[in-house]
């Protein structure tokens, strides 16, 4: 299989074939996920919660992200690697460029930042320097203390209209990928149709161009015991982790995941 690039992801969107993305933090799972057919490996700052045991993603450092990105790179077999810029690592333009450079040098093909239209300037500057950017919108966990918890975003009409406008603005600024977290399914579909770049969803229904889940969630592992509504345990009915990873990819590609019960209404 040829390596997955931005061109591959754009072609999948144009063909209407769904993109399977999964979080990954080490070389062994990178290899297993590639063998299962995962298109995009995300070194998410969710590692602060699922690996480090924190109650939010805020304590994660750029050094943590670079360490896990380099580990994933060593196990990768052709997937695109996206790495999160963690909390406060893109607060200024200077920090953004420096820290994105560290993650790209560790092995990322793209960096992900959380926010809305205010990201436009950083995205434009990164893109012109050769760093593709994924813009994470909707529920942005690094802003949990502003949002007042891990809540669905875009339920009110004004907020929904703003999210569509912000998505278009970030595409125009140069974002190569959008990620929508915990957004009503209809709104996520509208945004996916409004932009040319691929849109990946988590808790955003079946109409986005692809799906992502946190690895530990889809393997049925939970530290807190709280399982979000949008999660499906793919270990159920499977006899190995490798089979569960393959079942996830198949379910994303044949659009049997996410089902209606995994989505949110306005
Ligand atoms: O950090 C992460 O794992 C993420 C996913 C929830 C999309 O951003």
Q: What is the CATH number of the domain that holds 97?
A: 3.20.20.60
Q: Determine the pLDDT at residue 223.
A: 94
pLDDT digits (tens, 9 = 90+) for 50-105: 999 999 999 999 999 999 999 999 999 999 999 999 999 999 999 999 999 999 99
Residue 144 lies in a domain: yes
Nearest-atom number in ligand 1 for the CA of 202 is: 7
Residue 1 lies in a domain: no
Residue 128 lies in a domain: yes
What average pLDDT does range 240-261 have in this prediction? 98
Q: Determine the pLDDT at residue 96.
A: 98
Sign of CA dihedral 120, 192, 8, 86: positive
What residues are designated binding site for Mg(2+)? 45, 84, 114
Residue 239 lies in a domain: yes
Whole-number Å distance between alpha carbons of 228 and 4: 29
- pLDDT > 90 in the chain, percent: 98
Q: Determine the pLDDT at residue 143.
A: 98
Whole-number Å distance between alpha carbons of 79 and 29: 12
Cα(213) to centroid(ligand 1), Å: 7
Query: pLDDT at residue 40 above 80?
Result: yes
Query: pLDDT at residue 149 above 80?
Result: yes
pLDDT digits (tens, 9 = 90+) for 27-37: 999 999 999 99
Give the count of alpha carbons within 13 A of 215, CB side only.
24
* Residues in contact with ligand 1 (CB, 6 Å cut-off): 23, 42, 44-46, 84, 136, 179, 181, 202, 212, 214
Q: Determine the pLDDT at residue 243.
A: 98
Q: How far is CA 40 from the centre of its chain?
A: 9
What average pLDDT does range 40-48 have in this prediction? 98
Residue 117 lies in a domain: yes
Q: How far is CA 28 from the centre of its chain?
A: 20
Question: Model pTM?
Answer: 0.98
Whole-number Å distance between alpha carbons of 205 and 187: 9
Are 41 and 24 within 8 A, CB to CB? yes
Residue identifier of the C-alpha nearest atom 8 of ligand 1:
44
**pLDDT confidence band for 1 (50 / 70 / 90):** confident
Q: How far is CA 69 from the centre of its chain?
A: 14
Place of tokens 């919108």: 137
What average pLDDT does range 243-262 have in this prediction? 98
**Per-chain mean pLDDT for the chain:** 98
Whole-number Å distance between alpha carbons of 213 and 46: 11
Residue identifier of the C-alpha nearest atom 6 of ligand 1:
214
Mutate to test the pocket of ligand 1, among 84, 204, 210, 218 (most ligand atoms within 8 A of CB): 84
- String of b and e for 208-220 (b: at least 16 CB within 10 Å)? bbbbbbbbbbbbe
What average pLDDT does range 203-217 have in this prediction? 98
Give Cβ neighbours of residue 248 (< 8 Å, ≥ 6 apart).
20, 22, 36, 38, 213, 218, 234, 257
Whole-number Å distance between alpha carbons of 48 and 220: 18
Q: Determine the pLDDT at residue 2.
A: 81
Q: Determine the pLDDT at residue 158.
A: 98
Q: 87 lies in which domain range?
A: 6-262
Give me the number of domains the chain comprises: 1
Cα(152) to centroid(ligand 1), Å: 15
Q: Determine the pLDDT at residue 133.
A: 98
Q: Describe the crossing of helices 120-128 and 93-106 by its angle, rounded to 10 degrees.
A: 50
């Amino acid at each position: 299989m040829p390596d997955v690039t931005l061109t591959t992801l754009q072609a999948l969107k144009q063909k209407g074939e769904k993109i399977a993305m999964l979080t990954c933090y080490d070389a062994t799972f990178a290899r297993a996920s590639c063998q299962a057919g995962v298109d995009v490996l995300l070194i998410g700052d969710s590692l602060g919660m699922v690996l480090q045991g924190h109650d939010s993603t805020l304590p994660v450092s750029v050094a943590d992200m670079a360490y896990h990105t380099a580990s994933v790179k060593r196990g990768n077999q052709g997937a695109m690697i996206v790495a999160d810029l963690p909390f406060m690592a893109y607060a200024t333009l200077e920090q953004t460029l420096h820290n994105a450079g560290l993650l790209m040098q560790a092995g990322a093909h793209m960096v992900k930042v959380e926010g809305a239209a205010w990201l436009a300037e950083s995205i434009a500057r990164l893109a012109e320097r050769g760093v593709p950017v994924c813009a994470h919108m909707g529920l942005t966990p690094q802003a949990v203390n502003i949002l007042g918890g891990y809540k669905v975003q875009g339920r009110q009409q004004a907020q929904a209209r703003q999210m569509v406008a912000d998505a278009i603005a970030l595409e125009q600024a140069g974002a190569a990928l959008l990620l929508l977290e915990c957004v009503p399914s209809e709104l996520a579909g509208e945004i996916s149709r409004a932009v040319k770049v691929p849109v990946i969803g988590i808790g955003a229904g079946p109409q986005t161009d692809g799906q992502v889940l946190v690895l530990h969630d889809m393997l049925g592992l939970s530290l807190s015991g709280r399982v979000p509504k949008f999660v499906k345990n793919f270990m159920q009915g499977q006899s190995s982790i490798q089979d569960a990873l393959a079942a996830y990819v198949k379910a994303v590609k044949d659009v049997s995941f996410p089902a209606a019960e995994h989505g949110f209404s306005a």
